[in-house]
Structure 1
Amino acid sequence: MTRARKLSMAGIAVGALALTVSTSIPLAYGHGYTTSPISRAKNCANGTVQNCGPIQWEPQSTEGPKGFPAAGPPDGKLCSAGLSQFAQLDDQRGGAWPATQLTAGASYTFRWHLTAAHATTDFKYYITKQGWNQNAPLTRSALELTPFLTVPYNGARPAADVAHPGTLPNRTGRHMILAVWTIADTGNAFYQCSDVRF
């Protein structure tokens, strides 16, 4: 085989490998995660929580169908946005996830870091009901389905770091906050679960 032919074959092999890699890995150019209260995804990315699977490299990628609560990811898979590769986020781990300490009824600023801006419908924040089952994966029946904070964007693109001042609900004990960032020009939204304690 001539040197030119060997190089040509090598080039074809590299191209085929690149195509295989690019089509077998989900798009991870990413989107966003909550930093305050810190989300499960970000705790994994920081290394605060171990054995998280692929979410540790792409905490911004919990993207699923929009329309929550009428549509969106299925019950029990809300924290992973219904993505099997991020299923570790749905595991309650017996209450071992780190929880952000909050004060019921207090003013609080919710924060996101966005790795890619999208035209945005809104950001909504939901919280678990008092007495919810802390040992089961998060479901709609465990949540108050009326958000306690809604921040409309009307199609605008938010900055890389966004802050949403609001008032925390009245709760006691351990809870979860589900933050949903709904994109205006796609069929998707981003879902972030944060463990909190009042």
Structure 2
Amino acid sequence: MNRKRKLAMSVGAGLAPLLVMTLPVSPASAHGYIDSPPSRQAQCAAGTVQCGPIKWEPQSVEGPKGLSSCSGGNSQFADLDDDAKGWKVTPVGSTTTFNWTLTARHSTSTWQYFVGGRKVAEFNDGGAQPPAHVSHQVNFGGITGKQKVLAVWNIADTANAFYVCVDVNIGG
């Protein structure tokens, strides 16, 4: 090898780790979560409750359809499943509007809302691409008191869904 080529390779090998450490990191492909009333993800992102990596990825709680966990089965987001974590509870009426912020607008089959494992509302989008902000008015019927609402955004063209939990006090 000639001397110039050896020098260039040495400099390149020395600079490569520095470049990797200083280049900006692009965020993960994002999706969506409920920001009002404040979901567990929103509380983590705002620093209201101390959480792990979900603080930086509130929109990324994705898992296979049919789950009933706040974390969507993601162990890295297990903080969301901890009911004793000190989540702030929002007082709401018997009918409440849930506002989603979507950062990747996937074709949607349905939006579902569950309380205590029972489906209380479903909105069918029939495969349409939603806007960046989606709102659903959910009627809780006769359910009252402190409840954990599991909201599920079912994607139309994959086997996955996005999961969000919101702690509310219905009628409180």
TM above 0.5:
yes
Q: Which amino acid aligns with 1:91?
A: D
Residue matched to 1:48: 48
Displacement of 1:14 in angstroms is 6.5
> Residues of 1 paired with 2:106 and 2:14: CA distance?
39
Q: In proportion to residue count, which structure has more strand?
A: 2
Runs (5+) with no aligned partner, structure 1: 129-142
Q: Does 1:9 align with 2:2?
A: no
- Aligned equivalent of 1:110: 98
1:98 is matched with 88
Correspondences of 1:49-68 after superposition (within 5 Å): 49-50=49-50, 52-66=51-65, 68=66
Offset of residue 92 of structure 1: 1.1
For residue 97 of structure 1, give the secondary structure of its aligned residue in structure 2: coil
Select 2:80's aligned residue among 89, 94, 98: 89
Aligned residues with identical type, % of pairs: 44
Which secondary structure state, in structure 2, belongs to the residue aligned with residue 177 of structure 1? strand
Distance (whole Å) between structure 1 residues aligned to residue 145 and residue 125 of structure 2: 32
- How far 1:178 sits from its partner (Å)? 0.4
Deviation at 1:111, TM superposition (A): 1.1
Partner SS for 1:45: helix
SS in 1 for 2:106: coil
Aligned residue for 1:148, secondary structure, equals strand
CA distance in 1, matches of 2:158, 2:38: 26
Could you tell me which residue of structure 2 aligns to residue 119 of structure 1? Answer: 107
**Structure 2 residues not aligned, in runs of 5+:** none
Equivalent position to 1:188, from 141, 160, 165: 160
Q: Please point out which of 71, 75, 94 is paired with 1:80.
A: 71
Question: TM-score of the superposition, structure 1-length normalised?
Answer: 0.74
The TM-score, its normalising length taken from structure 2, stands at 0.84
> How far did 1:102 drift?
1.3
Q: RMSD of aligned C-alpha atoms?
A: 2.2
Q: Offset of 1:85 from its aligned partner?
A: 0.6
How many residues matched? 162
